[in-house]
Structure 1
Amino acid sequence: MVDISRKPIVSREAVAEGVIKLRPETVRLIREKRVEKGDVEEAAKIAAILAVKNTPSILPYCHPIPITSVKVDFDYGDDTVRVRVEVKADYKTGVEMEALTGVSAALLTIWDMVKKYEKDEEGQYPITRITDVRVVKKTKGLEERV
């Protein structure tokens, strides 16, 4: 791990997002809360929060960071769900890996909960895909990078 012992504690924020492409019927089931496994949005939100908090357990070179806030939002298209995760902390290193890990876990949770509706006759996923996982905003103190 990189030595951050001499770095000052600074307010930090990162926002990451990603998209899962699904069948339009599947998106409708999610929005109407009619997915057999349960409330997809709530499960994905919990998965994102847990992933943010456990990022150092998943990514070996990440420092444990005292997270002060996690916000998870969903935006629906006809055949997509966009997940956006905002993470805040006051610490010596950034939180972009935590935000990316949260988005990834949320998207994977969505896939897991709706896979029954996404499979074709051969049990494959010809439409389903996770795309565009990226950091959309990072701030450090008063400095902002987009």
Structure 2
Amino acid sequence: MQEVNQNLSLTHLNDQGDAQMVDVSGKSQTLREAIAACQVRMTLATFTAIAAGNAPKGDVLGTAKIAGIMAAKQTSNLIPLCHPLPLGKIEVNLIPDAELPGYQIRATVVTKAETGVEMEALTAVSVAALTLYDMAKALEKSMQIENIRLLSKTGGKSGDYSVKELK
């Protein structure tokens, strides 16, 4: 686990301690990418039913993928103080993992902007996982959404970040 940088100032607070959106108007637009991931763990029976397309609500994986894409586009409406960004690419993938059993969810978000897209990628995987749960809850209510995390980000003043994949 990486250490926390203790020398950072609180950019989301003004001089009076009130919440504020960070002023990025003086920053240059640069190409930025973020990749986030999570997993949804379920019983083998639920995993098999989803893979076979036998969920009562219909296309679980297709619906979850669209929900993740739509969520990334709505991040600034969902997360206070996030900047609305022009998103150039949003890719959401739900990868079957028989070892869980369940699905690994990955989102890649790209923009050319003054600030990064980490929150958009994290929002995409979170909502895709919640949608997968909603679409399959008739099969199993004990599914677990786990390990929501940023895998990597590129661009911006703070530089690139990458974490070794955890399983």
In the superposition, the TM-score normalised over structure 2's length comes to 0.80
Q: Report the secondary structure of 1:34's partner residue.
A: coil
Q: Mind listing any 5+ residue stretches in structure 2 that lack a counterpart?
A: 1-20, 163-167
- Where does residue 161 of structure 2 map in the other structure? 145
Q: Mind listing any 5+ residue stretches in structure 1 that lack a counterpart?
A: 120-124
Q: Which of the pair has more CA radius of gyration?
A: 2
Partners of 2:65 and 2:94 within 8 A in 1: no
Name the one with the larger helix percent: 1
1:101 aligns with 2:123: yes
Equivalent residue runs for 1:1-146 within 5 Å: 1-78=21-98, 79-119=101-141, 125=142, 128-140=143-155, 144-146=160-162
Q: Report the secondary structure of 1:83's partner residue.
A: strand
Distance in 1 separating the partners of 2:130 and 2:119: 16
Deviations 1:10-43 (A, max 9, x none): 0000000000111111111111111110111110
Q: Report the secondary structure of 1:5's partner residue.
A: coil
Partners of 2:56 and 2:138 within 8 A in 1: no
Cα deviation for residue 144 of structure 1 reads 2.9
Distance in 2 separating the partners of 1:135 and 1:82: 13
Query: Which runs of structure 1 show a deviation greater than 2 angstroms over 4 or more consecutive aligned residues?
Result: none
Name the one with the larger strand percent: 1
- Where does residue 14 of structure 2 map in the other structure? none
CA RMSD, 1 decimal: 1.1
Q: Report the secondary structure of 2:138's partner residue.
A: helix
| Number of positions where the alignment pairs a residue of Structure 1 with one of Structure 2 | 138
AA aligned to 2:102 is: T
- The structure, 1 or 2, with the larger RCO (C-alpha pairs under 8 Å, 6+ apart) is 1
Q: Kindly, what percent of the aligned residue pairs are identical? A: 40
AA aligned to 1:84 is: R
Distance in 1 separating the partners of 2:60 and 2:37: 17
Deviations 1:36-88 (A, max 9, x none): 10111110011001100000000011000000000111211221211000000
